[in-house]
Chain A
Amino acid sequence: MKKIINNPNDVVSECLKGIELAHPELKYTPELEVISRRNPSPGKVGIVSGGGSGHEPAHAGYVGKGMLDAAVAGNMFSSPSPDRIIAGIQEASGGAGVLLVIKNYSGDIMNFEMAAEMAEMEDIQVKHVIVRDDVAVPDSTYSTGRRGIAGTVFVHKIAGAKAESGGTLDQVQAVAQKTCDNLRSMAMAMSPCTLPAVGKPGFSLGDDEIEIGMGIHGEPGVARTTIKPAKEIAQILLDKILDDYDFGGSEVALMVNGLGGTPLMELYILNNEVGQLLAAKGIKVYKTLVGNYMTAIEMTGCSLTLLKLDDELKALLDAPCDTPALKI
């Protein structure tokens, strides 16, 4: 294992301290591993997300004006505990309620729900949405139902914009739910990732082997096959998404996401292929994001995400946001 770390037990806190140093507008809460806005817009609905660490820039990288008010980090690939989540809720609470954006993993759901119940005992109104964008498998190692992956970033963006524009908690939840309902993703992995405390890869893939549909913690996908040209990878991932949901004739937001170890050059090559395939199907790409938005430590591979847009979602997607990992 070669990693730029000190003690494996300190990777989460040291990463978040590094974020705070680089972005003085963000505040790090030690021990509770929360990154929050120093000066959130007053009186608005708070948006909180989080989950296991190892998916950087998610989730702390999306804290800032127009997106999250607080991100709560668990240990590597492990849900944050309710005490941490409550701290995030308290940081984000401006009196108008708090929306939790949760990825669909059993540990995350149990911990966020418990935190929500406890925050409500302190008279903070809390609602949540659960992101289940990964079409690969119906159930998975750590989830009942579909997993939440890169599409979560679109939910952060749209919920954050709605909250920034003065939406009520119900309105913010409704538009976040609409985003979840119109969101589909599919991933592919080419090499494994190594948890710092474990020191060796969590699974293995042959030199010329890829796994279609693998999760962002290395959970099993749908098939292993040999590496293929970008054109075919685009086709495989997109077919699975388009088989699952009718995007025909619609306008979409597209994310070509890297899992941490894949160069941007390859992601742009993939985007070129995806763009052509979508055009051929009469699906218009309204906005494209290409980059490492939801990673699995140093895993190589990618995911594609499509979000079907209407006028409301377009306007919220175009609204300004200023965070370390996304600026619009």
Chain B
Amino acid sequence: MGFALTASDYAQWIARAYQKIHENGDYITSLDAATGDGDHWINLNMGFEKLVSIKDALASKSLFEAFKSISMTMMSVIGGSGGVLYGSAYMEAAKAVKDLEVLDSAALCNVLAAMLDGIMKRGKSQPGMKTMIDALNPAVECYKDCIARGESEAQTLKLVKKAAEEGALSTKDMEAVRGRAYYQADRGVGHLDPGAITMFYQIETLMDYIADKMQDEA
């Protein structure tokens, strides 16, 4: 039997994602100082800190309500462009789980695809523009491939994580098309995109959380 995630699982993952993001503050801010406004980590960290503070309330909701609540929280706490992009991701995720009580592997893949779709649509952006999409998109593509070829869930989790990491690292050679980095002489080439790295952290901690849960239940 495969995994089945509830809102309570998502709430527990939030604590893990927050920890990962929180402890990499200096690193992310140093990446951002090279290409951006320098406030990406501060804002995202603040967003996750707030989510952690409401995690018990999230755990008791349906997936639909939990994702909606995460969306509204991210928008208002993170603010600016990042807030509304994450907000749009979770709003699309909410729509994708409207009638679901739990997420199995196929449903989780749909959720990630819906989040990707939400971010691309809201930001009018595509893969290859040196953004968080470049971590999420390869993860979604990889997830779909794994399902199509009948990969085991345990292996799928590992491969999706790896795809997200490779995607995030690939931003180093990309030219920025959006934001402040676009206006630098080198268009940010040679620097990792901080938004792609923090997106990778979230995918990484989610895949690890599910793997641990499966092991605990085995």
Select the residue from B84, B178, B179 with max chain A CB neighbours within 10 A: B84
Q: Is there contact, CB below 8 Å, between A81 and B83?
A: yes
Q: Is there contact, CB below 8 Å, between A114 and B88?
A: yes
* Interface check B128, CB cutoff 8 A: no
Segment of A72-80, A248-256, A277-285 engaged in the interface with chain B: A72-80
Question: B163-181 CB contact bits vs A (8 Å, 1 = yes)?
Answer: 0000000000000001110
Select the residue from A75, A83, A110, A144 with max chain B CB neighbours within 10 A: A110
**How many residues on A have C-beta within 8 angstroms of the other chain's C-beta atoms?**
19
Q: Is there contact, CB below 8 Å, between B183 and A141?
A: yes
- CB contacts (< 8 Å) of A106 on chain B: these are 81, 123, 178
Q: Is there contact, CB below 8 Å, between A74 and B81?
A: no
- A107-B87 contact given A83-B72, A141-B183, A220-B183, CB 8 Å threshold: no
Shortest beta-carbon distance from B133 to chain A in Å: 14
Shortest beta-carbon distance from A53 to chain B in Å: 12
Shortest beta-carbon distance from B132 to chain A in Å: 14
Partner of B76, one of A84, A113, A141, A144: A84
Question: A98-126 CB contact bits vs B (8 Å, 1 = yes)?
Answer: 00000000110011011000000000000
- A81-B75 contact given A110-B122, A114-B87, A141-B180, CB 8 Å threshold: yes
Partner of A110, one of B72, B85, B91, B183: B85
Q: Is there contact, CB below 8 Å, between A110 and B79?
A: no
Q: Is there contact, CB below 8 Å, between A114 and B80?
A: no
Q: In the bound complex, how far is the Cα of B76 from the Cα of A315, in angstroms?
A: 40
* Interface check A82, CB cutoff 8 A: yes
Q: Is there contact, CB below 8 Å, between A114 and B81?
A: no
Q: Is there contact, CB below 8 Å, between B75 and A79?
A: no
- CB contacts (< 8 Å) of A78 on chain B: these are 79-80
Shortest beta-carbon distance from B97 to chain A in Å: 17
Q: Is there contact, CB below 8 Å, between A82 and B79?
A: no
Q: Is there contact, CB below 8 Å, between B76 and A83?
A: yes
- CB contacts (< 8 Å) of B183 on chain A: these are 141, 220
Q: In the bound complex, how far is the Cα of B122 from the Cα of A256, in angstroms?
A: 35
Q: Which residue of B lies closest to A74 (CB)?
A: B79
Q: Is there contact, CB below 8 Å, between A111 and B84?
A: yes
- CB contacts (< 8 Å) of B178 on chain A: these are 106
Shortest beta-carbon distance from B156 to chain A in Å: 32
Shortest beta-carbon distance from B44 to chain A in Å: 14
- CB contacts (< 8 Å) of A107 on chain B: these are 80-81, 84
Q: In the bound complex, how far is the Cα of B182 from the Cα of A83, in angstroms?
A: 29
Partner of B79, one of A75, A142, A220: A75
- CB contacts (< 8 Å) of A79 on chain B: these are 79-81, 84
- A-B contacts, 18 of them at CB < 8 A, read A74-B79, A78-B79, A78-B80, A79-B80, A79-B81, A80-B79, A81-B84, A81-B87, A82-B75, A83-B72, A83-B75, A83-B76, A106-B123, A110-B84, A110-B122, A110-B123, A114-B84, A220-B183
Chain B residues packing against A (C-beta within 8 Å): 72, 75-76, 79-81, 83-85, 87-88, 91, 122-124, 178-180, 182-183
A-B contact sample (10 more), CB < 8 A, given A79-B81, A110-B122: A75-B79, A81-B79, A81-B80, A82-B84, A84-B76, A110-B81, A110-B85, A111-B84, A141-B179, A141-B182
Identify the 6 closest CB pairs spanning chains A and B, nearest first. Answer: A107-B81, A110-B84, A78-B80, A81-B75, A83-B76, A111-B84
